[in-house]
């Protein structure tokens, strides 16, 4: 599999993500506040999905552009913006090739999205390129040692390997690696942590939602169901065991990392 094939597969997988927008809605507001988005600011949301961050920012009267790889999610984002009565330019584009001029934005944000671009150095260089000097970059990512990171690493053991040299997306959840990747292009890096509490009756209910909606998982489940049903059962048992460790009172705790920095 080469990069183009990987991106085509990602685009195909992410098209079912819309039901999970309720999960990422509260953390969207958290990121918007953390990034310091204020009225009039020019904001870019990278990997906007169904628009939860972009619309939260636009409701604060920021001037927002948003891009995503997946047309079906952009359709839903436009519908969400119509319901919210906000004006946002949503475009189909790749985080690794942003269709904007250098320094166009005051703030560039990404919620659980730029982390899935396969080449982190290219994605971050693009996000910093379209940001003006003195502007803010801010993003939310899944740490490898918490629930989402652990279940993604579990899934990766059951999937075909990515093309050589493509690192795990979860490395964006490690502050040391984030600091390295931002490098000398930024100053004043700030990290914070928060969690999303997802209602679920059982780990199995939660797993069923993930299996139907989470981009990277969908294809893997389809493939295993046909070719190796016993391995699929092993995956599911391990998944449920991890989720049980994060579940209390019918709520599943998904911890995440927030990063903010100023472009120099």
Ligand X SMILES: C[S@@+](CC[C@H](N)C(=O)[O-])C[C@H]1O[C@@H](n2cnc3c(N)ncnc32)[C@H](O)[C@@H]1O
Catalog residues that contact ligand X under the rule CB under 6 A.
10, 14, 17, 21, 24, 47-49, 52-53, 68-70, 73, 94-96, 111-113, 116-117
**Among all chains, which residue has been given the structure tokens 């094939």?**
5
Scored b (16 or more CB within 10 A) or e, 193-232 reads: eebbebebeebeebbeebbebbbbbbebbeebeeeeeeeb
**Least distance from ligand X to the Cβ atom of residue 111, Å:** 4
Q: CB-wise, 14 or 34, nearer to ligand X?
A: 14
Q: CB-wise, 70 or 136, nearer to ligand X?
A: 70
**Least distance from ligand X to the Cβ atom of residue 84, Å:** 15
Q: CB-wise, 136 or 254, nearer to ligand X?
A: 254
**Among all chains, which residue has been given the structure tokens 């919210």?**
84
**Among all chains, which residue has been given the structure tokens 């040391």?**
176
Q: CB-wise, 133 or 167, nearer to ligand X?
A: 167
Least Cα distance to 161 among 230, 212, 220 occurs for: 220
**Least distance from ligand X to the Cβ atom of residue 165, Å:** 16
**Least distance from ligand X to the Cβ atom of residue 170, Å:** 13
Tokens for 190, please give them: 């700030």
Q: CA-to-CA distance for 111 and 30, rounded, in angstroms?
A: 10
**Least distance from ligand X to the Cβ atom of residue 233, Å:** 26
Scored b (16 or more CB within 10 A) or e, 51-78 reads: bbbbbbbbebebbbbbbbbbebbbebbe
Q: CB-wise, 165 or 249, nearer to ligand X?
A: 165
| Cβ(251)–Cβ(258) below 8 Å | no
């Amino acid at each position: 599999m080469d990069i183009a094939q990987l991106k085509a597969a990602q685009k195909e997988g992410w098209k079912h993500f819309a039901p999970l927008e309720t999960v990422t809605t509260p953390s969207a507001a958290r990121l918007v506040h953390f990034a310091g988005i204020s009225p009039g600011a020019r904001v870019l949301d990278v990997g906007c999905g169904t628009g939860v961050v972009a619309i939260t920012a636009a409701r604060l009267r920021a001037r927002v552009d948003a891009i995503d790889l997946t047309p079906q999610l952009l359709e839903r984002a436009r519908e969400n913006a119509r319901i919210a009565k906000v004006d946002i330019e949503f475009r189909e584009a790749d985080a690794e090739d942003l269709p904007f001029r250098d320094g166009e934005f005051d703030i560039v944000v990404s919620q659980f999205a730029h982390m899935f671009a396969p080449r982190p150095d290219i994605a971050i260089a693009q996000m910093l390129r379209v940001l003006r000097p003195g502007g803010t970059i801010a993003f939310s990512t899944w740490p490898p040692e918490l629930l989402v990171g652990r279940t993604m690493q579990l899934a990766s053991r059951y999937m075909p390997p990515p093309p050589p040299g493509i690192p795990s997306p979860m490395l964006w959840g490690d502050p040391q690696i984030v600091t390295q990747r931002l490098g000398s292009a930024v100053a004043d890096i700030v990290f914070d942590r928060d969690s999303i509490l997802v209602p679920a009756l059982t780990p199995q209910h939660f797993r069923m939602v993930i299996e139907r909606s989470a981009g990277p998982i969908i294809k893997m489940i389809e493939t295993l169901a046909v070719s190796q049903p016993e391995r699929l059962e092993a995956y599911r048992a391990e998944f449920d065991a991890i989720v049980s460790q994060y579940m209390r009172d019918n709520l599943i705790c998904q911890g995440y990392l927030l990063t903010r920095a100023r472009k120099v």
